[in-house]
Amino acid sequence: MAKDAKKKVQWKTVKEVLHYIRRYRFLLVLSILLAAVTVVLTLYVPILVGHAIDCAVGQGNVDYDGIFENLIRICIVVAATSVAQWCMNIIHNRITYQVIRDIRSEAYEKISHMPLAFIDSHSHGEIVSRVIADVDQFADGLLVGFSQLFTGVVTIVGTLIFMLTIQPMITIVVVVLTPLSLFAASFIAKRTYEMFRKQSQTRGEQTAFINEIVGNQKVVKAFSREEEVLETFGEINDRLEKYALRATFFSSLVNPTTRFVNNIVYAAVCLAGAFSVVAGYMSVGGLSSFLSYANQYTKPFNEISGVITELQNALACADRIFSLIHEPSEVPDIPDAAVLRSPAGQVDIRGVHFSYVPERPLIENFHLSVKPGQRVAIVGPTGCGKTTLINLLMRFYDVNQGEILLDGVDIRHMKRDSLRESVGMVLQDTWLMDGTVRENIAMGREATDDEIKEAARAAHAHSFIKRLPQGYDTVIGEDKGGLSQGQRQLLCIARVMLRVPPMLILDEATSSIDTRTEMKIQSAFARLMEGRTSFIVAHRLSTIKEADMILVMRNGSVVESGNHEILLSQNGFYAKLWNSQFIA
- The CATH number of residue 302's host domain is 1.20.1560.10
Q: Considering its fold, how many domains does the chain have in total?
A: 2
With pLDDT > 90 as the criterion, what percentage of the chain qualifies? 1
Mean pLDDT of 17-30: 84
104 pLDDT above the threshold of 80: yes
Query: What type of residue sits at position 92?
Result: H
Asked if 288 and 386 sit in the same domain, the reply is no
* Strands 401-406 and 409-410, bridge-based pairing: antiparallel
3 domain-assigned: no
* Strands 401-406 and 533-537, bridge-based pairing: unpaired
* Three-state secondary structure call for residue 215: helix
Asked if 351 and 320 sit in the same domain, the reply is no
Asked if 158 and 282 sit in the same domain, the reply is yes
Asked if 273 and 351 sit in the same domain, the reply is no
Asked if 296 and 439 sit in the same domain, the reply is no
Mean pLDDT of 286-309: 70
Determine the distance from the C-alpha atom of residue 420 to the mean position of all C-alpha atoms in its chain, rounded to a whole number.
Answer: 26
Quote the CA–CA distance of 513 and 489 in Å, as a whole number. Answer: 8
**pLDDT for res 3:** 55
Question: 136-173, pLDDT tens digit by residue?
Answer: 878 877 777 666 777 777 777 777 777 777 777 777 77
**pLDDT for res 83:** 92
Determine the distance from the C-alpha atom of residue 439 to the mean position of all C-alpha atoms in its chain, rounded to a whole number.
Answer: 26
339 domain-assigned: no
Residue 52, CB-side half-sphere exposure with 13 Å CA sphere: 15
Quote the CA–CA distance of 184 and 177 in Å, as a whole number. Answer: 12
Query: What type of residue sits at position 533?
Result: T
Asked if 159 and 213 sit in the same domain, the reply is yes
Least confident of 31-35, 120-124, 185-189: 185-189
Least confident of 61-70, 429-438, 531-540: 61-70
Quote the CA–CA distance of 44 and 390 in Å, as a whole number. Answer: 74
330 domain-assigned: no
341 domain-assigned: no
Q: Give 349's strand partners.
A: 368, 404
Asked if 160 and 253 sit in the same domain, the reply is yes
331 domain-assigned: no
379 pLDDT above the threshold of 80: yes
396 domain-assigned: yes
Asked if 285 and 418 sit in the same domain, the reply is no
Asked if 243 and 391 sit in the same domain, the reply is no
333 domain-assigned: no
Asked whether the beta carbons of 402 and 349 are under 8 A apart, the reply is yes
CB atoms within 10 A of CB 192: 26
Asked if 395 and 301 sit in the same domain, the reply is no
pTM for the structure as a whole: 0.66
Quote the CA–CA distance of 49 and 54 in Å, as a whole number. Answer: 9
Quote the CA–CA distance of 131 and 302 in Å, as a whole number. Answer: 31
**pLDDT for res 471:** 86
309 pLDDT above the threshold of 70: no
* CATH classification of the domain holding 527: 3.40.50.300
- Owning domain of residue 123: 13-325
Which of 178-187, 323-332, 513-522 holds the top average pLDDT?
323-332
Supply φ then ψ for residue 383, to 5 degrees.
85, 10
- pLDDT interval class at 293 (50, 70, 90): confident
201 domain-assigned: yes
Asked if 321 and 367 sit in the same domain, the reply is no
Asked if 461 and 410 sit in the same domain, the reply is yes
Under 8 Å CB-to-CB from 285, ≥6 apart: which residues? 49, 50, 51, 52, 53, 54, 57
Average pLDDT of the residues of the chain: 79
**Domain end (from 262, 293, 325):** 325
**pLDDT for res 179:** 67
Q: Which of 163, 156, 397, 183 is nearest to 300 (CA)?
A: 156
Supply φ then ψ for residue 445, to 5 degrees.
-165, 165
Asked whether the beta carbons of 522 and 510 are under 8 A apart, the reply is yes
Determine the distance from the C-alpha atom of residue 281 to the mean position of all C-alpha atoms in its chain, rounded to a whole number.
Answer: 61
**Domain end (from 259, 290, 325):** 325
Calculate the alpha carbon distances from 542 to 204, 236, 539 in Å.
45, 47, 9
